[in-house]
A and B are shown apart, each in its own frame.
Chain A
Amino acid sequence: MGKTESSLSNMALTLITITLLTGAALGYVYKLTEKPVAIAKEKKQQEAIRLVVPEFDNNPAQEMYLIPTSDGDSLKVFPAKKEGKKVGCAIESISHNGFGGDVKIMVGILPDGTIYNYQVLEHKETPGLGTKMTTWFKPSEEDNVSKASGNAFFNWLFGISNNSGGGNTSIVGVDPTKTKLEVSADGGDIDAITAATISSRAFLEAVRKAWYAYTEIVDTHSSATTKEKNSQEGGMQ
């Protein structure tokens, strides 16, 4: 083979040429993908916001602001408005006490303080157990499938019934002033995921943090304050 000789200058030259060429090629691809990467990230955030609050026509990401929590995190708040009127806000919240690490969620809260929906953004929980949090805390008609079985025929065949234990697992539509957002084992009102209490605790902690952050917003923004106070009192009676 007509290989180039392994002299020092040849070796250095080859390596430098290759490095320069690949560096240039990578720089080009980076410029090419830079925008789509940013768009993909923004789209994912938009999608999560869209799923947890009612229909809106503003750009919540542009009006985003940060709220510090008592334990040193700061949560992102995305206000959703339709025709200038507030229809709810999406709050990105986090718990550091998951089974496998951090649990990051997006919670949508309506102006009256009830939880509209949630979306799990990031977690490292055990597959098949803690991962059920993506649907477990939603109303049962949506997730009967994942709670019992994926297939109606097999449900019938093996006699699996579609009840979720008759328990109280949904946080959707819940008013946190009236419902204690803790797992029932800790004296709360929400049933934990079977065999994944730690994951459930972490999830509910993240929801609570989002809600506390929310109550702080309404305290400073007068419009909803009085209403909020009333409902809080109502909850205590």
Chain B
Amino acid sequence: MTYFIIIISAIFVNNIVLSQFLGICPFLGVSKKISTGLGMTGAVTFVMVIATIVTYFIQKLILVPFGITFLQTISFILVIAALVQLVEIVLKKVSPPLYQALGVFLPLITTNCAILGVAIMTVNRDFNLLEAVVFSASSAIGFGLALVTFAGIREQLELVEIPKGMQGAPIALLVAGILAMAFMGFAGMV
């Protein structure tokens, strides 16, 4: 598979949020403002790429050679949880401004299923290391694209009058549905 197809597929056609249903919690939770959406995207991109690389090596160097692939879920989630902590500590020391921007989002990321989902998908699709990096980075960009677009729409929604019963989650889900429909237009591109 060429890298171009992987990129287009992960960002548009098989967008992890709008067609794979991964990372819905942050998608609905931190999408009230574009700025927080961007911060979350940054944090997710950072952790997703590192997590995919680390889990790739765990799979290839530990789980497969020792025939213990049944420990995949448990080892991946532990690695991701530890990694998030590590990133938080390192970021605090190395780059305080970046920590200020991303810090609040980091603890939320452990339970972001997009990270674990992408790590498992990478293994399932038998990507090589470079493909895995490209795939995870474009998945994160796809996540960001959906999140920021959605946040932009929600900012506008604040200004209109919404029927009482539809306020909050229902209207957000309907908007997400229409956005997913728009992304369906990319289907069949690859």
Interface string of A26-70 (1 = CB under 8 A from B): 110010000000000000000000000000000000000000000
Q: Are B188 and A26 in contact (CB under 8 A)?
A: no
Interface residues in B42-71 by Cβ distance below 8 A to A read: 68, 70-71
Q: Note all chain A residues with C-beta closer than 8 A to B187.
A: 99-100, 126
Q: Is B74 an interface residue (CB 8 A)?
A: yes
Q: Is A167 an interface residue (CB 8 A)?
A: no
Q: Name which residue of chain A comes closest to B9, CB basis.
A: A101
Q: Note all chain A residues with C-beta closer than 8 A to B68.
A: 27
How many B residues touch A, CB cutoff 8 Å? 6
Q: Are A23 and B71 in contact (CB under 8 A)?
A: yes
Q: Note all chain B residues with C-beta closer than 8 A to A99.
A: 187-188
Q: Name which residue of chain B comes closest to A96, CB basis.
A: B1
How many A residues touch the partner, as a band? under 10
Assembly CA distance A60 to B187 (angstroms) = 38
Q: Is A172 an interface residue (CB 8 A)?
A: no
Q: Are B188 and A198 in contact (CB under 8 A)?
A: yes
Q: Note all chain B residues with C-beta closer than 8 A to A22.
A: 74
Interface residues in B140-190 by Cβ distance below 8 A to A read: 187-188
Assembly CA distance A34 to B80 (angstroms) = 27
Q: Note all chain A residues with C-beta closer than 8 A to B74.
A: 22, 26
Minimum Cβ distance to chain B for residue A15 (Å):
9
Q: Are B70 and A30 in contact (CB under 8 A)?
A: yes
Q: Note all chain B residues with C-beta closer than 8 A to A198.
A: 188
Q: Name which residue of chain A comes closest to B188, CB basis.
A: A99
Minimum Cβ distance to chain B for residue A47 (Å):
24
Minimum Cβ distance to chain A for residue B39 (Å):
31
Q: Note all chain B residues with C-beta closer than 8 A to A30.
A: 70
Interface residues in A174-213 by Cβ distance below 8 A to B read: 198
Assembly CA distance A154 to B74 (angstroms) = 50
Assembly CA distance A23 to B74 (angstroms) = 9
Interface residues in A83-106 by Cβ distance below 8 A to B read: 99-100
Q: Note all chain B residues with C-beta closer than 8 A to A100.
A: 187
Minimum Cβ distance to chain A for residue B156 (Å):
31
Q: Note all chain B residues with C-beta closer than 8 A to A126.
A: 187
Q: Name which residue of chain B comes closest to A126, CB basis.
A: B187
Q: Name which residue of chain B comes closest to A30, CB basis.
A: B70
Assembly CA distance A126 to B68 (angstroms) = 35
Assembly CA distance A23 to B71 (angstroms) = 8
Q: Note all chain A residues with C-beta closer than 8 A to B188.
A: 99, 198
Q: List 13 A–B pairs whose Cβ atoms lie within 8 Å, in order of A's numbering.
A: A22-B74, A23-B71, A26-B70, A26-B71, A26-B74, A27-B68, A27-B70, A30-B70, A99-B187, A99-B188, A100-B187, A126-B187, A198-B188
